[in-house]
Amino acid sequence: IQLIYVLAAALVGIIWLIIFLINLSVHISDDVYVIVLSIAGVLFAVSGFIVAIYYVIAWPVRHEGQSIGKKFQKIRLMVVEDLETGKIRTMTKGDIGTNLLRLVFSIVDALVFGLVGLYIMNNDPNRQRFADQQAKTVVIKDEGKTRK
């Protein structure tokens, strides 16, 4: 439900911005209009970046390891406490650094159109990507219950 409010507010804001910029172009000089348009573009890009970072890093931590996409796929990101015994636990709000580390190392997984990550995952006995190995996380099928 919260996501619907955020999307609705973003849509209203975008529509308002378009109407504002169209009306503004009629009343000011071209030079000022270009400056205003540039500032609006930068603000739009920065806000998009902030939303993307929140979605990738904070959302899974706040929702027990599930982003919206993971929820649809019925998978979950878990923190590995002991790989040998298979002890894993649900992500908590204190695992934001773990998720940030996973994001940073995802750059390696993304090399050559994601083939590096696919290769590493297919050759790992636990099916972990490089980023998951470094951040000590694992993606599991969600069985509908939270593991502690």
pLDDT tens, position by position, 16-52: 777 777 777 677 777 877 787 788 888 888 888 888 8
CA distance 86 to 138: 10
Of residues 122 and 45, more confidence is placed in 122
Mean pLDDT is lowest, of 7-21, 39-53, 63-77, for 7-21
For range 87-111, the mean pLDDT: 93
The token pair that represents 137 in the structure block: 């996380």
- Distance, CA of 11 to CA of 9 (rounded, Å): 5
pLDDT at 106: 93
pLDDT at 109: 93
Residue 66 token pair: 């599930």
Q: Is the pLDDT of residue 147 over 70?
A: no
